[in-house]
Structure 1
Amino acid sequence: MHTMWKGTISFGLVNIPVKMHAATENKDIKLRQLHKECQSPIKYERTCPNCDREVKNDEIVKAYEYAKDKFVILDDEDLEALRKEQGDKSVEIMDFVKLEEIDPIYFEKTYFLSPNEGGGKAYGLLRSALKDTSKIGIAKMIIRSKEQLAVIRVYKNTLVVETIHYPDEVRQVKDVPNVPEETKTEKKELDTAKMLIEQLTAEFDPEKYTDDYRTALLELIEAKKNNEDVVIGESKPKPDNVTNLMDALEASLDKAKKNKPKPVKPKAAKPKKASTKKKSG
C-alpha cells in the first residue's frame, strides 16, 4: 500500500511514528472523448486568449483573483515561505471527543495509519485507549500543502485519520432554498411512515450495496469488445524525413530552374561592306 505521508502522532508525551495510506479509491470508469470523424483522442491544451497561443508550464504563474480580472500573483518563493514541512511533521491531538458529536456533513476523506519503525507499542496504546474510552482525537495536520482539521479514530483494528471540514467550509442550512417550515402532519400518515421505516430497518452491511451502473457499463464495454465493436483512433502520420528531404530538394531544384535567368545569346557580327572608292593612279 502506497505511503503518502510520514509523521508523528502525539498525545501528551506519547509520540507515535506513523505512515499514512489512502483508505479509499475512486473506481469511476473514465471515458475518453474522441473525434467522431476519425476516432482520435481529443487533446486539451492550455492557451492564452490574449496571446492566442499555447502556453508552456514554465510560463505559468499562480494568482488569486480578488475581483473580476484583477489578480494578486503569488510566486513560488511566497508559497514556499508559507508551506510547512510535511516529511517529519508532528501532529498533536488537541482534544478528545465523542464520535457522535460530529455530524457526518463534516467528514471528508479517510486515511489508514500504520506504525512506522519503533512505533508499534505506542500505536497499540493509543488504539486501546480510544477503544476503551469510546473517544476520538481531534488534530491538525498538513496534507498536500493544506492544513487539515482531522479526526483520529479506530476502524476495526486500525487507526485511521478522517479529514473533516472547518466550520466555515460547511454552508449554512438557512441558505438552502424552498425548505418548508414545520408542517402539520396527520397522525395516521406519520404512523404509517414509522411502520414502513421499522419494516425496512436492518443492520448496516456495506457488502450488499453495489454500484449497478458501473457494473452494467463494464458489461457493455466487455460485450462490445467481444463483438469487436471497437474503433482504432487514426494517428497522424509521422513525417518521413527521406521523402520530405527529396520533396524539398526537387521543389528547390524546380524553383531554381524557374528563377534561373536565361543565357543571353551573343549578337552576330555584321559583315563589313566592300569599299567603292577607286584607287588613284
Structure 2
Amino acid sequence: MHTMWKGTISFGLVNIPIKLHAATENKDIKLRQLHEKCKSPIEYKKRCPVCEEEVNNEEIVKAYEYAKNKFVVLDPEDLENLKKEQEDKSVEILDFVKLEEIDPIYFEKSYFMSPNSGGTKAYSLLRKALKDTGKIGIAKIIIRSKEQLAIVRLYQDTLIMETIHYPDEVRNVADVPNVPEQTELSKKEVDTAVALIDQLTAEFEPEKYNDEYRTALMELIEAKRNNEEVTTAKDKKRPDNVTDLMAALEKSLDESKNKKKVAPKKAEPKKKTTKKSTSKKKTS
C-alpha cells in the first residue's frame, strides 16, 4: 500500500512514528472527450486572454484575489518556506472526545495509520488505550500544503486518521432554501412512517450495496469493445520547419495578391508636349 505521508504523532510524552496510507479510492469510470469528426482527444490549453498567447507552467504564478481583478501575488519561495515550517512540526493529539459527539457532516477523507520504524510498541499502546476508553483523538496535520483538523480512532484493530472540516467550512444550515417549518401531521401518518422504518431496519452490511451505474457502464464498454466498436485516435500532424516556412510564404503571397486586387489604380500623369522650333539652323 502506497505511503503518502510520514511523520510523528504524539499524545502526552508518547511519540509514535507513523505512515499514512489512503484508506479509500475513487472507482469512478473516467471518460475522455473526443472530437466527433475525427475521434481525437480534445486538448485543453492554458491561455492568457490579455496577451492572447499560450502560457507555460513556468510562466504561471499563484495569487490571492482579494477583490474583483485585484490580486496579491505569492512567491513560490514564500509558500515553500511556510510549508516546511509547518511540516517540520510533529502531529500532536490535542484532545480526546467521544465519536458520537461529531456529526458525520464534518468527516472528509480517511487514512490508515501504520507504525514506522521503532513505533510498534507506542502504536499498540495508543490502540489499546483508545479501545478501552472508547474515545477518539483530535489532532492537526499538514497534508498537501493544507492544515487539516483530524481525528484518530480505531477501525478493525487498525488506527485510522480521518480529516474533518473546520466549523467555518460547514455551511450554515439556516441558508438552505425552502425548508418547511414544523408541519402538523396526523398520528396515523406518523405511525405508518415509523412502522415502515421498523420494517426496513437491518444490520449495516456494506458488502450488499454496489454501484449499479458503474457496473452497467463497464458492461456496456466491454460489449462495445468485444464487438470491435472501437476507434483509434489519429496521430497529431506535426509540421516541420520546411512546411511551416512554405505555409508562411504561401500565406504572404495570397495576402499580397489580395492587396493588389483591392488597391485603387493611380492616375497616370499627363505627358508634357513641347513646341517644335521653326527657326532654321544657321549654316556657316
> Contact 1:86–1:143 at 8 Å: present in 2 too?
no
Determine the structure 1 residue equivalent to 2:196.
196
Secondary structure of the equivalent of 2:130?
Answer: helix
Q: Distance in 1 between matches of 2:240 and 2:80?
A: 47
Larger radius of gyration: 1
1:184 maps to a residue whose letter is: E
The aligned runs of 1:20-35 (5 Å cut-off) are 20-35=20-35
Q: Distance in 2 between matches of 1:60 and 1:240?
A: 28
Determine the structure 1 residue equivalent to 2:82.
82
Cα separation, partners in 2 of 1:48 and 1:239, compared to 1, 3 Å: closer
2:166 maps to a residue whose letter is: Y
The TM-score normalised by the length of structure 1 is 0.84
The aligned runs of 1:8-23 (5 Å cut-off) are 8-23=8-23
Secondary structure of the equivalent of 1:83?
Answer: helix
Determine the structure 1 residue equivalent to 2:210.
210
Q: Distance in 2 between matches of 1:206 and 1:86?
A: 38
How many matched pairs? 247
Determine the structure 2 residue equivalent to 1:169.
169
Matched, 1:120 2:114: no
Determine the structure 1 residue equivalent to 2:58.
58
Q: Distance in 2 between matches of 1:123 and 1:214?
A: 38
Determine the structure 2 residue equivalent to 1:40.
40
Determine the structure 1 residue equivalent to 2:160.
160
What are the Cα deviations for residues 25-79 of structure 1, in whole angstroms up to 9, with x where unaligned?
0010000000000000001000000011100111101011111111111111221
Determine the structure 1 residue equivalent to 2:231.
231
> Contact 1:8–1:88 at 8 Å: present in 2 too?
no
Determine the structure 2 residue equivalent to 1:277.
none
Q: Distance in 2 between matches of 1:117 and 1:194?
A: 53
Secondary structure of the equivalent of 2:189?
Answer: helix
2:115 maps to a residue whose letter is: P
Q: Distance in 1 between matches of 2:119 and 2:176?
A: 47
> Contact 1:111–1:161 at 8 Å: present in 2 too?
yes
Determine the structure 2 residue equivalent to 1:222.
222
2:218 maps to a residue whose letter is: L
Q: Distance in 1 between matches of 2:191 and 2:77?
A: 64
Q: Distance in 1 between matches of 2:106 and 2:199?
A: 30
* Structure 2: gaps of 5 or more residues: 250-284
* Structure 1: gaps of 5 or more residues: 252-281
Q: Distance in 2 between matches of 1:121 and 1:47?
A: 54
Moved over 3 A (4+): 84-89, 237-241
Q: Compute the displacement of 1:233 (Å).
A: 1.2
Determine the structure 1 residue equivalent to 2:255.
none
Determine the structure 2 residue equivalent to 1:95.
95
Q: Distance in 2 between matches of 1:187 and 1:195?
A: 12
Q: Distance in 1 between matches of 2:234 and 2:141?
A: 48
> Contact 2:87–2:142 at 8 Å: present in 1 too?
no
> Contact 1:110–1:162 at 8 Å: present in 2 too?
yes
The aligned runs of 1:250-269 (5 Å cut-off) are none
Matched, 1:3 2:3: yes
1:25 maps to a residue whose letter is: E
What are the Cα deviations for residues 91-143 of structure 1, in whole angstroms up to 9, with x where unaligned?
11010000000000000000000000011111011001001100000001111
Q: Distance in 2 between matches of 1:84 and 1:187?
A: 61
Q: Distance in 1 between matches of 2:88 and 2:119?
A: 14
